[in-house]
Structure 1
């Protein structure tokens, strides 16, 4: 495999940009390809079978682009399809999972809140993860329907978004949580609003840096790190309306970018 080959990253929409930002910071020389599958978002209210089919389709597209590794930047997709993708495709695959281990070691009150999508909350993989890291801590799982849609629209601060965050975060605080796991890659985009509501003393944990570190370890172990000293570039695709994506992705990414529409066969 050519070490200069790109890394493919996909999510149900814009959420995985938080993971992409962490990868860019950790691996500045790598070429990055990102798919926002916004035409099928949110994955959180889809069946596992539906999510699996989208994951297979997007992975095939990225393999056609010659990627040397794949990152599943979606907790919902990890829960539904990570094992399937790893058994189907030969490239190394790094997947995100809610950062429960770090949360358990960080809490002082012994109460951890976990914000997740509905599909993640119901998955056997997530249940096993909870059981593995629960130890003697109280883990309060809070499904958060509606938040992904607000972020997909680029709406991070409106009264509607604030009301949803209040609805999902307030019960965690009432129960004594001093640590909240942002169990969807979309949710870190709402970090300022969540901090405003929860207070600065509540620790918010996401998985971007951990995923980037694991990706680096995988590339190193397979001698796939790009040795070029120049900064890598990024390419973006969407399965939805490009006009909306060309507005929202730069807003969340923090820089001007071009966004292409996925070919029809992969939409």
Structure 2
């Protein structure tokens, strides 16, 4: 007989291509410490940035099936590329459980934060090609001037757990030079891997440029949604955290422990396809 789980105690699912979405998981855990979290990532197909959005969309749909099987009450698409690939599905509430992405909260925060309307977006190639950030930012601020830059090397470095040091700083400087040349006053970290190296990025862009972490904005939106629907977990204790990956669980755990010390202490392998692509 299946054990009954009250709706408030059902877990929140978080999805990303790799370790980057741990920045969103951490933001949710900090804001909502009683919530049970399931973090699932597709490291077998990482990185998503260079892949066709149609392919990423198919991967995401399979993970949504997994989250339904896990009895999640809400899913956070903690991946900007996947959000871009499935934005129509998210807006249409096309799944049995509510799902939301990180782009809209981040875009809204950037539009509000910028004094001049000159906004930079550092992201993956797939997110940049989709145009989702400029489009969404202009929904909140029609006069905004938005410049984008794909920074794939920073995604790789974060996935390796290398988030500081002289080499990372040089790569950040090179990646962000075209954005800074446009005199932006706000920079959206448009890939969930980038907040892992936020200290280096802030040092490079200087104090006059405000960093926007869509993960933190998303956590606030999640809290509001759960509160409105009466789904907040009242506790009393801290929530459970479970992690799953389509790749090597041990490697995932080694990197996760560097990126989020104390945040994840175990990971399991999941096989969601009849054969790996």
The TM-score, its normalising length taken from structure 1, stands at 0.91
- Quick check: 2:163–2:196 contact (8 Å CA) kept in 1? yes
Query: What do the CA deviations read for 1:12-57 (whole angstroms, capped 9, x no partner)?
Result: 1111111111111111111000012222111111111111111011
Q: Is 2:209 aligned against 1:190?
A: no
What is the rounded CA distance, in whole Å, between the counterparts of 2:153 and 2:74 in structure 1? 31
What is the rounded CA distance, in whole Å, between the counterparts of 2:113 and 2:73 in structure 1? 35
**Structure 1: stretches of 5+ with no match in the other structure:** none
* Structure 2 residue corresponding to 1:89, chosen from 95, 120, 126: 95
Mean alpha-carbon deviation: is it higher for 245-254 or for 106-115? 106-115
Q: Name the residue aligned to 1:31.
A: 36
Which aligned pairs between 1:121-160 and structure 2 lie closer than 5 A? 121-123=128-130, 125-160=132-167
- Quick check: 1:170–1:198 contact (8 Å CA) kept in 2? no
- Quick check: 2:110–2:119 contact (8 Å CA) kept in 1? yes
* Structure 2 residue corresponding to 1:80, chosen from 81, 85, 96: 85
What is the rounded CA distance, in whole Å, between the counterparts of 2:235 and 2:93 in structure 1? 31
What is the rounded CA distance, in whole Å, between the counterparts of 2:156 and 2:31 in structure 1? 29
Query: How many residues are paired up?
Result: 267
Please report how far the alpha carbon of residue 160 of structure 1 lies from its aligned counterpart in structure 2 after TM superposition: 4.3
Q: Name the residue aligned to 1:55.
A: 60
Which aligned pairs between 1:160-239 and structure 2 lie closer than 5 A? 160-239=167-246
What is the rounded CA distance, in whole Å, between the counterparts of 1:124 and 1:186 in structure 2? 19
Query: What do the CA deviations read for 1:120-161 (whole angstroms, capped 9, x no partner)?
Result: 112154452143245333221112122211111111125543
What is the rounded CA distance, in whole Å, between the counterparts of 2:261 and 2:208 in structure 1? 27
| Aligned-residue CA RMSD (Å) | 2.1
What is the rounded CA distance, in whole Å, between the counterparts of 1:89 and 1:23 in structure 2? 22
Q: Name the residue aligned to 1:43.
A: 48
Structure 1 residues 130 and 106, CA gap change in structure 2 (3 angstroms): closer
Q: Name the residue aligned to 1:65.
A: 70
Q: Compare relative contact order (CA 8 Å, sep 6+) and give the higher one, 1 or 2.
A: 1
- Quick check: 1:94–1:214 contact (8 Å CA) kept in 2? no
- Quick check: 2:27–2:215 contact (8 Å CA) kept in 1? yes
What is the rounded CA distance, in whole Å, between the counterparts of 1:116 and 1:152 in structure 2? 14
* Structure 1 residue corresponding to 2:120, chosen from 99, 113, 124: 113
**Structure 2: stretches of 5+ with no match in the other structure:** 1-5
- Quick check: 2:110–2:137 contact (8 Å CA) kept in 1? no
What is the rounded CA distance, in whole Å, between the counterparts of 1:152 and 1:262 in structure 2? 19
What is the rounded CA distance, in whole Å, between the counterparts of 2:75 and 2:180 in structure 1? 36
Structure 2 counterpart SS, 1:250: helix
Query: What do the CA deviations read for 1:164-197 (whole angstroms, capped 9, x no partner)?
Result: 2111212222221222111111111110111222
Please report how far the alpha carbon of residue 109 of structure 1 lies from its aligned counterpart in structure 2 after TM superposition: 4.4
Structure 2 counterpart SS, 1:10: strand
The TM-score, its normalising length taken from structure 2, stands at 0.88
